[in-house]
Copies of this chain bind each other. A is one copy, B any other.
């Protein structure tokens, strides 16, 4: 059920089978260093989100460049990361159900692990599960700062949960998660800045009320690739969770970036695909469809050809519209820039890592499919 990689190390890119996920190592490494460099001189920690890459090889490289650890969304992702050598993982999400809480407790024996909460009954269950396992777990309260997904309303409801956590024998109040996910793909810099300014105000309200209740809050965590410089400059966030910066997908590339202070990241992640049909004059069909590149955030873009659009995806086919002079023949290979990197990565078992036109390494995506 785990498929062979599409390539072997040393192989020229032209010979790499398709569709597969290729990582341009030079571009990737520039992205990898560019984000921590952009934070130089700022007193803020980086905890990149591993839900984007699902790969311990990448997490360890982020940590080597100064990240304090990584985030992930699922206990099974955390298990894969810890098994791959990552020592500090925040499950930046609510974890519900006896089976998962038990696994979370076991994991807390092997690594520094923390989790988010937004529900009193869930806090009770977490405490009971940690007590049964004889461990103490760091717990962050998630507040809803505009994404309208998980999280309690900022202010009093967060204070009430913090008091409850403080009274739990096997839980430790570890701070606030305040992730403004809805702001990340707002196109205009000014609108993203304003959305984060509102979130910052809500965080401040909450931390002031916590302080007034005698509950110190030493970690506020959040931010994504689209907004992280605003959280970094806010003075109230301590940890940044950006993840997509290492890959820079087509949807993020549609954001305006000028004057944001956020560096220009490069596309480093591609779907390598073959033209499998060229029987019509104005279209070609490639072998990468819905099962090779997620279309939830729009179609993939065709790299290197400005007169070719990927216009339609079915399960195993992508239809290219040939708007200009470019024509393909069956067997031609080309690169697609995925619309959304996270669910695209989740379709594959391997990164085929390319440098100077050859396969330098194959990195297993060990948290692929880790939904539990």
A residues in contact (CB < 8 Å) with B: 1-4, 6, 15, 17-20, 51, 73-74, 76, 93-97, 99-100, 118-119, 121-122, 144, 148-153, 157, 181, 274-280, 283, 285, 287-288, 290-292, 294-296, 313-317, 319, 329-331, 340, 342-343, 346-349, 364-366, 368-372
Contact = CB atoms under 8 A, between A and B. Distances in A.
Given A290-B340, A290-B343, A347-B347, 4 more contacts: A94-B276, A94-B330, A96-B287, A292-B371
State the copy count for this chain: 2
A93 B331 CA distance: 14
B290 A294 contact: yes
A292 B149 CA distance: 17
Contacts of A96: 274-276, 287, 330-331
Contacts of A290: 294, 296, 340, 342-343
A296 B275 CA distance: 22
B343 A285 contact: no
Contact of A94 (B148, B153, B277): B277
Contact of A144 (B20, B275, B276, B279): B279
Contacts of A151: 277, 279
Nearest to A76: B3
Contacts of A294: 290, 294
